[in-house]
A and B are shown apart, each in its own frame.
Chain A
Amino acid sequence: MEPSRDQCAFYYTKDDIENLQIKITLQQLTGSQLVAVSPRVVEDTQAGRQNEVPLASLTTAATYPTTHHVTVKWQQKILSVCEALEYRRSIYANDPKYRTRHKQAIKRRKYQRIFTYVHEDNYQLQEQHSATTSKKMEQECCLRQRANRTRGNDSVDSEEVSEKSSVVAKEDKKKRPPTTFQQQYLYIMADLAPQESLGESRVYETVLCVLKYDGQSQLTVTPDFNMPTTKAYRLESFGPDNALYEYQIENVSLTRSAEERNQEEQLANQMARQRIEEIQQMARLDWDTEGQPGQGELRLMTVGEITRALYFPEASSLYIHYALYLPPGWRVNPGTECEGFTPTCWLSHSDEVAAAHFSTPFSLDVTRSSSGKGWPLLLLAAFSLDWFGHDRDEGYAAFALPASGPHDKHQVKDGLYQVGTWRPAQISPLAKMRRFFLGGCQLMSDPSYLAVGAQASSQVGRVSRLGFNTNTSGTIELRASTVVQADFIGKDLQTPLEMPPGWQLSTVAVIDAFNKSRQKLRAAKQGLL
Chain B
Amino acid sequence: MSVSSPSVFLLSVSGQVEAGRFMGGDNLHFNYCFTAGQDWEVVSGLEECVSQTACCSDDERQLFVWNFPIDITYKSTNPFGWPQIILSVYGTDFFGNIVIVGYAACHVPLTPGTHTRRLKTFVPESASTIQKLMSWLTGRRPEFLNPKIIAQGRGREVTRVRSHGEITITFNVMMKDFAKLGYDCGAPSKVPYLGAPPPPQTVTVPREGQSDA
Contact = CB atoms under 8 A, between A and B. Distances in A.
Direct interface between A and B, CB < 8 A: yes
Interface of A: 131, 133-134, 143-144, 146-147, 150-151, 177-179, 181, 183, 214, 272, 275-276, 279, 403-405, 407-408, 484, 489-490, 492-499, 517-518, 520-522, 524-525, 528-529
Interface string B170-213: 00000000000000000000011111101001010110100011
B206 A524 contact: yes
B195 A497 contact: yes
B3 interface: no
A521 B158 contact: no
Contacts of B135: 133
A528 B208 contact: yes
5 contacts: A404-B192, A484-B194, A496-B195, A518-B212, A521-B203
Given A524-B205, A525-B212, A528-B208, A177 B38 contact: yes
Interface stretch (B83-91, B97-105, B147-155): B147-155
B146 interface: yes
Contacts, number: 91
Tell me the dominant secondary structure on chain B's binding face. loop
B213 A405 contact: no
Contacts of A484: 193-194
Nearest to B197: A407
Contacts of B23: none
Contacts of B146: 181, 183, 214
B134 A517 contact: no
Given A183-B146, A521-B205, A521-B213, A276 B191 contact: no
B155 A489 contact: no
A272 B77 contact: yes
Nearest to B131: A133
Interface residues of B, number: 33
A499 B192 CA distance: 14
Contacts of B213: 490, 492-493, 521
Contacts of A525: 206, 212
Nearest to A492: B213
Q: Could you say which of A405, A490, A529 has the most chain B C-beta atoms within 10 Å of its C-beta?
A: A405
Interface of B: 7, 38-39, 77-78, 80, 130-131, 134-135, 140, 145-146, 148-149, 152, 154-155, 158, 191-196, 198, 201, 203, 205-206, 208, 212-213
Nearest to A497: B194
B154 A179 contact: yes
B206 A521 contact: yes
A404 B195 contact: yes
Contact of B192 (A214, A407, A520): A407
B36 to A, nearest CB: 10
A275 B38 contact: yes
A495 B213 CA distance: 13
Contact of B152 (A144, A179, A529): A179
A150 B191 contact: no
Contacts of A183: 145-146
A522 B203 CA distance: 11
Nearest to B158: A143
Contact of B201 (A133, A214, A496): A496
B203 A517 contact: yes
A146 B203 contact: no
Given A405-B196, A498-B198, 5 more contacts: A150-B155, A183-B145, A496-B193, A524-B206, A525-B212
B195 to A, nearest CB: 2
A150 B158 CA distance: 12
Contacts of A521: 203, 205-206, 212-213
Which 6 A/B pairs are nearest by Cβ-Cβ distance? A404-B195, A407-B196, A496-B198, A404-B194, A133-B134, A143-B158
Contacts of B7: 276
B194 A276 contact: no
A272 to B, nearest CB: 7
B155 A147 contact: yes
A405 B131 contact: no
A498 B197 CA distance: 9
A178 B205 contact: no
Q: Could you say which of B130, B131, B145, B194 has the most chain A C-beta atoms within 10 Å of its C-beta?
A: B194
Q: Could you say which of B80, B134, B206, B213 has the most chain A C-beta atoms within 10 Å of its C-beta?
A: B213
Nearest to B207: A528
B140 A131 contact: yes
Q: Could you say which of B78, B135, B195, B208 has the most chain A C-beta atoms within 10 Å of its C-beta?
A: B195
A134 B140 CA distance: 14
Contacts of B201: 494-496, 517
Nearest to A269: B1
Given A279-B78, A520-B203, A499 B195 contact: yes
Q: Could you say which of A143, A150, A272, A408 has the most chain B C-beta atoms within 10 Å of its C-beta?
A: A272
A517 B195 CA distance: 19
A456 to B, nearest CB: 23
A521 B206 CA distance: 7
A151 B152 CA distance: 12
A408 B197 CA distance: 10
Contact of A494 (B152, B158, B193): B193
B193 A146 contact: no
A499 B193 CA distance: 13
Contacts of B198: 494, 496, 498
